[in-house]
Chains A and B, each alone.
Chain A
Amino acid sequence: MEINVIIFGKLIDITGSAAITINNVADTEQLNEQLHNRYPALTGYPYLIAVEKEIIQGNTPLKNKDTVALLPPYAGG
């Protein structure tokens, strides 16, 4: 089980990378847990999660090779 995580905006300052791979997670809750363990500073920042370009609400199951995006508050326009 391999999840591609892509990171944007301010969150890149925390992870130091715009793309990382997370293994062995079954859903977005487990993914978040692993991310927070790896990057403790992430806990304090607000962000939305998109699975395959769709913003999700609540815990969502993940499939192998899914792309999950971490989206901090938008600033377009």
Chain B
Amino acid sequence: MQERKPKNIFIQGPIASSFIADSIQKHSSKTDIGGHSIFLGQVRADTIGEKKVSSIEYTTYEEMAIEKMYTIREDIFAKYPLTCMHVYHSLGKIAAGEICLFVFTSSAHRKAAIDACEETVERLKAELPIWGKEMFEDETYTWKENK
């Protein structure tokens, strides 16, 4: 098995749809892949009280998050027959409607890619030290908390 090193998963600003398209395109040379699974997280304009969220400002404890993501990646590769996995998370201010999370798994057959993608999303939401400040249109804010 190839050795995997901890990778930086963070992107400053939103994840562009062209970045996602390029990422898909890059896999056309890997002809042992039969299925991809993609999860995209989008900033939702929640209404809290009377106010509407206009953006989320993401921060992280980067060194710890990268180490933790490495552990999750190793666990997922040990559990599912994946060809590859890519994870990107935004930092900084991401407007409602923009993409802030991109998880991309590939395998020979669909089930491994789908299950691995779901488990990776669940684990990173629970285990990565990332925080989100939900900014309202009037410049006030509240801190988001994963459920």
Contact = CB atoms under 8 A, between A and B. Distances in A.
Given A8-B129, A10-B131, A76 B146 contact: yes
A8 B61 contact: yes
A50 B63 CA distance: 12
B58 A76 contact: yes
B30 to A, nearest CB: 26
A6 B60 CA distance: 11
Contact of B146 (A8, A50, A69, A73): A73
B41 interface: yes
Say whether chain A's binding surface is mostly helix, strand, loop, or mixed.
loop
Contacts of B124: 76-77
Given A71-B61, A77-B121, A9 B146 contact: no
Interface of A: 6, 8-10, 50, 53, 69, 71-77
Interface of B: 41, 58-61, 63-64, 67, 89, 100-101, 121, 124-133, 143-146
Given A9-B131, A76-B125, 7 more contacts: A6-B61, A8-B59, A8-B131, A69-B129, A74-B126, A75-B145, A76-B129
